[in-house]
Amino acid sequence: MAATIDAERAVAHLRQADSVMDMVIEAVGPPQLREPSPTAFQALARSIIFQQLSGKAASTILGRFVALFRESATAEDAVSGFFPEPAEVLGIDDEAMRSAGVSRQKAAALRDLAAHFAEGKLSIERFGGWSDEEVIAHLLPVRGIGRWTAQMFLMFQLRRPDVLPTADVGLNRAMMRLYGLDAPATPDEVERIGAPWHPWATLACWYLWRSEDVILPLGDPA
């Protein structure tokens, strides 16, 4: 079975391995990762709907989308309660999804995702037996899912402990600010700076994202 995040061990390792990370952890406090979605299909479908939209707009569309399958459903249900099964998504036409605000491109992506789950190409059992790179390789053929989306799925749904999304804009900017770079970190710089974080890179990334929300005693990087 694939490893998952052990927050206590991860924090202890990160604080010892990286003085900048130690400062960030002291300022941010204990890690508070959001709860995973009830199902892998729901997590990935939600990520497709939220692409390139503000949180408020995406939540509205998500609520309308789930209401296509149950009239009383809301966006909150899509987080913790009711969500359509893959077969149900395959049974609804594009015009209905368009009426909920889902673009044609995203409707096609949702349908493709549903087909992958309905056909058994993707499942929580399969994810559990795959390495991080195998999960990514099996997700990339799905329309609307790129490497970044697959990495977020690994981090926040599957709770994989050692994911380092080198092209993440927020991470690149946080590294520039915290590690004294002249520009947002390049993928190579992310790999170099993040090397001491392994095997707990996922939690390190979470702390760097959260560092934008706290006041840090920044000086010259150690």
pLDDT above 90 covers a percentage of the chain that reads: 76
Indicate whether 1 belongs to any domain.
no
pLDDT at res. 90: 96
Q: pLDDT digit string (tens) for 132-182? A: 999 999 999 999 999 999 999 999 999 999 999 999 999 999 999 999 999
Both 149 and 186 in one domain: the answer is no
Structural domain boundaries enclosing 22: 7-33+163-213
Q: What is the CATH number of the domain that holds 207?
A: 1.10.1670.40
Question: Quick one: residue 39, left, alpha or beta (phi over 0 = left, psi -120 to 50 = alpha)?
Answer: beta
- 73-114 residue pLDDT tens: 555 555 556 899 999 999 999 899 999 999 999 999 999 999
**Tokens 């979605």 sit at which residue?**
37
Hey, CA dihedral for 172, 177, 182, 183, is it positive or negative? positive
Choose the final residue of a domain: 125, 141, 156. Answer: 156
What does pTM read for this prediction? 0.89
Catalytic residue among 168, 182, 188, 213: 168
Question: Within this chain, do residues 145 and 199 fall inside the same structural domain, yes or no?
Answer: no
Closest CA to 145 of 222, 78, 50, 70: 50
Site of tokens 């941010």: 28
Asked, for residue 220, whether it belongs to a domain, the answer is no
Average predicted confidence (pLDDT) for the chain: 91
168 flagged as catalytic: yes
Q: And the tokens for 185? A: 């970190």
